[in-house]
Amino acid sequence: MTDQPNTNPDAFRTAIVASERLRTALGQHQLTLPSLRGGYPTLTGEPFVELGGCHANVIEQLAAILERTAPDPGGEAR
């Protein structure tokens, strides 16, 4: 078994695009995850995004946004 990362360029590119999309969406709410980045694909070739760590207040703000916009049990966004 090899310890080298899967270097599938399409999966890596997908992870980078996904991380930039999330960075942009978070920025619209003045939130930043400093360690957010596209990472190497998983061993199965799936794109992987590294969220990293951040201050608890950022997570509190993110949770509040997600809670406010969560769909209600009937399927509609609040």
SS3 71: strand
**pLDDT tens string 1-45:** 455 556 678 999 999 999 999 999 999 999 999 999 999 999 999
Q: DSSP for 36-51, please give it.
A: -EEEPPPTTS--EEE-
**What Å distances lie between residue 30 and 2, 9, 41, 54, CA to CA?**
41, 31, 28, 14
pLDDT of residue 8: 78
pLDDT of residue 51: 94
What pTM was computed for the model?
0.77
Does residue 47 register a pLDDT over 70?
yes
Tokens of 9: 């360029």
The DSSP 8-state label assigned to residue 5 in this structure reads P
pLDDT of residue 1: 47
List, in sequence order, the alpha helices (H) in 1-78: 9-27, 56-69
